[in-house]
A and B are shown apart, each in its own frame.
Chain A
Amino acid sequence: DIVMTQSPDSLAVSLGERVTVNCKSSQRVLDSSNNKNRLAWFQQKPGQPPKLLIYWASTRESGVPDRFSGSGSGTDFTLTISSLQAEDVAVYYCQQYYSTPYTFGQGTKLEIK
């Protein structure tokens, strides 16, 4: 199984500040057919299902604010929120869909400082 490890487990950031969440996969998740990484990011608010933010490591899902961006290569990936808004308080998960069993990171809880 590919193990996904996120860091940090939690963080508190001031409104308007930049947020960085890291995700490390235990092996590469590069799809050689299109040279894209099979890595997605989700946002989950309390009592709600996860919401897709980013797929193919850096493609923003339709309707997701452009303050959210994804980057990375190899086994290291990053979700960045350029300017934290109050509505961004949530738990964030990375997920690989390169090989089964599909696996998720343990989650990163984001709060307002």
Chain B
Amino acid sequence: QVQLQESGPGLVRPSETLSLTCTVSGGSISTYYWSWIRQPPGRGLEWIGYIFYTGSTNYNPSLESRVTISLDTSKNQISLKLSSVTAADTAVYYCTKRGYMDVWGKGTTVTVSS
């Protein structure tokens, strides 16, 4: 069965770009929608955006100007880039599969701090 694993720096400086990778195992990324979700400490869930296996993307308008999601089919990975980060971007970041998110990674904690 498909498993997801997020990875990336745990600490990002304000105004820099957050870069995360989601590695898919047990299946191909060449199907389904793949989303990024984030959860600030002690708070609820926010959808960041998704990428379809064709490469088409859809982003949350609240983040659209700063977000890029892409695929690397050769590595079976989905990446997230979020630019110009502030403390408000501190969160656990998850990657998920499908619109109803049937598979989640364990998440990776990103702290934005100088």
Q: Name A's B-contacting residues (CB within 8 A).
A: 38, 40, 42, 48-52, 55-56, 61, 93, 95, 97, 100-107
Contact = CB atoms under 8 A, between A and B. Distances in A.
B44 interface: yes
Contacts of B102: 52, 55, 61
B104 A55 contact: no
Interface of B: 35, 44-47, 50, 58, 60-62, 94, 99-107
A38 B98 CA distance: 12
A55 B97 CA distance: 13
Contacts, number: 54
A38 B99 contact: yes
B44 A49 contact: no
B100 A49 contact: no
A49 B99 contact: no
A40 B100 CA distance: 6
B100 A93 contact: no
A101 B44 contact: no
Contacts of B35: 102
A85 B23 CA distance: 34
12 contacts: A42-B101, A50-B104, A51-B104, A52-B104, A55-B100, A56-B100, A61-B102, A95-B45, A97-B99, A97-B100, A100-B50, A104-B45
